[in-house]
Chains A and B, each alone.
Chain A
Amino acid sequence: MIPISAHSGVENLASCHDCGFVVALEGAGHHAQALCPRCRAAVHQRKPDSINRTWALVITAAMLYVPANIFPVMRVISMGKAQEDTIISGAVYLLVHGMWPLALIVFFASVVVPLLKLIALSFLLISVQRGSNWRPVERTKLYHVVEAVGRWSMTDIYVVTILVALVSLGNLATIEAGIGAVYFAGVVVVTMLAAESFDPRLIWDRVRESNG
């Protein structure tokens, strides 16, 4: 692996997000863009407007997170009685019934992961905006973790889906999805989009500037 020095005239290189093809961009700065000659995706020096878009999505997700946890995700109607479950009460149910490994998974996937994702992305955004030089390798790793764990938040949505399917009409009990599930689905999708719109190369821009 031979790193190419910053003095060999390669400052305007950009790699395509879709196929990795390296393109020499015309024009200067982070706004230069071109179409990838290999796959025709738009190639940018950095993801366009990454910081603003990611902030907008992080804030949206944070706002959805509150109703997702307050409103019931599931309603069980059994013999005329309705019982409602929120995300937390679902996890508590498992805990009370001695299924603590599953309770832990549900609590982690539905409550901790979305929250940690929002905190981690905010931290990355603030560190980039302040031009931080601090531990770029670790911050890049943090970003990769954020990117990878988000999908596990879907667990609760799937539980509702499976229970709705199994305990269907005609039986003594009916299960319906609650409005909380809609908000929660929103949290999962919006946090995934937020992770996708953040550009980890921004972490390294300041490092490069202060080294060269």
Chain B
Amino acid sequence: MPDLDFRAVSGVDQPIPAGWLTLCHACDLPSRVGDVPEGGSARCPRCGTVLYRRIRDSLDRTLALAVAGMFLFIAANVFPFLAFKMQGNVTHTTLSTGVRALFEQGTPIVASLVLLTTIVAPLLQICSLIYVLAPLRAGIRVPGQTRVFRLLRAVQPWSMMEVFIIGILVSLVKLVGMAQIVPGIALWSFALLIPVLAFATSSLDAEWVWRRVGLAR
């Protein structure tokens, strides 16, 4: 790659220098990305897929949202999620109660899938964002950032909290009339975690981060 000079990039506030080469991930057309203003984006001239989006204060924003997400995640897993009142009996559940019950009933495949998509994947998402971005913000290097940043990309499609909320709505409707359902603090934390993580994901400038944590720079 003769005309790509990654060494020109330094300092946390520096944008990516114009003219870097990229291939459209949908149609493979090579283009050079010019100066993209803050908040602007570059699209593939052939198929219109977004090639690069430059976000204002991407690093600070994403890191702040990831840290907020960590607190919400802990709250969502520690506090009561939903309580079920029927004829004087009260059942308290946490986020993981259903997973545990499915394991005990002998459906480990379903239990693992729910565990992965509602607890493990979001946790990995939050942890890897913080692990990669916090040292960048502080201006230090920590081992394994490259690997962890790849992990983030791999777990993202498996984090499905927003779908879980629809599942809760449907369940509530099915139980209405049969019992009283009391939402707990964890449910609100969980509901808040969804937009927080969504904004964290959309404000992340992956190309910019790769230029700092990648092996070849």
- Are B175 and A166 in contact (CB-based, < 8 A)? yes
Chain B residues lying within 8 Å of A163, measured Cβ to Cβ, are: 171, 174-175
Residue B114, interface by CB 8 Å:
yes
- What is the bound-complex CA distance between A163 and B102, given in angstroms? 11
Chain A residues lying within 8 Å of B109, measured Cβ to Cβ, are: 182, 185-186
- What is the bound-complex CA distance between A167 and B87, given in angstroms? 12
- Binary contact track A168-212/B, C-beta < 8 Å → 1, others 0: 101110001100011001101100100010001101110100000
- Binary contact track B178-203/A, C-beta < 8 Å → 1, others 0: 01010000000000000000000000
- Are B114 and A158 in contact (CB-based, < 8 A)? yes
Partner of B170, one of A94, A144, A168: A94
Residue A50, interface by CB 8 Å:
no
Q: Known contacts A15-B22, A24-B1; decide if A159 and B87 are in contact (CB<8 Å).
A: no
Output the nearest chain A residue to B146 by Cβ-Cβ distance.
A39
- Binary contact track A44-73/B, C-beta < 8 Å → 1, others 0: 000000000000000000000000000000
| Interface residue tally for chain A (C-beta within 8 Å) | 70
- Are B102 and A3 in contact (CB-based, < 8 A)? no
- What is the bound-complex CA distance between A162 and B114, given in angstroms? 10
Chain B residues lying within 8 Å of A157, measured Cβ to Cβ, are: 110, 113-114, 167
Residue A122, interface by CB 8 Å:
no
Output the nearest chain B residue to A5 by Cβ-Cβ distance.
B30
Partner of A10, one of B30, B33, B45, B207: B30
Q: Which of A136, A158, A186, A205 has the most CB of B within 10 A?
A: A158
- What is the bound-complex CA distance between A197 and B51, given in angstroms? 21
- Are B149 and A161 in contact (CB-based, < 8 A)? no
Partner of B86, one of A136, A164, A171: A171
A and B contact pairs by CB, cutoff 8 A, 16 listed: A1-B32, A3-B31, A21-B210, A38-B217, A39-B210, A137-B47, A151-B157, A157-B113, A158-B166, A164-B105, A165-B93, A166-B175, A172-B87, A177-B105, A177-B107, A200-B25
Q: Kindly list 9 other residue pairs between chains A and B, CB separation below 8 angstroms, not including A4-B31, A201-B25.
A: A17-B25, A20-B25, A40-B215, A102-B170, A109-B163, A109-B166, A140-B27, A158-B167, A158-B171
B interface residues, Cβ below 8 angstroms from A:
1, 4, 21-23, 25-34, 42-49, 51, 82, 84, 86-87, 89, 91, 93, 97-99, 101-102, 105, 107, 109-110, 113-114, 117-118, 146, 149-150, 153, 157, 160, 163-164, 166-171, 173-175, 179, 181, 206-207, 210, 214-217
A interface residues, Cβ below 8 angstroms from B:
1-4, 10, 13-15, 17-24, 37-41, 93-94, 97, 99, 102, 105-106, 109, 136-137, 140, 143-144, 151-152, 154-168, 170-172, 176-177, 181-182, 185-186, 188-189, 192, 196, 200-201, 203-205, 207
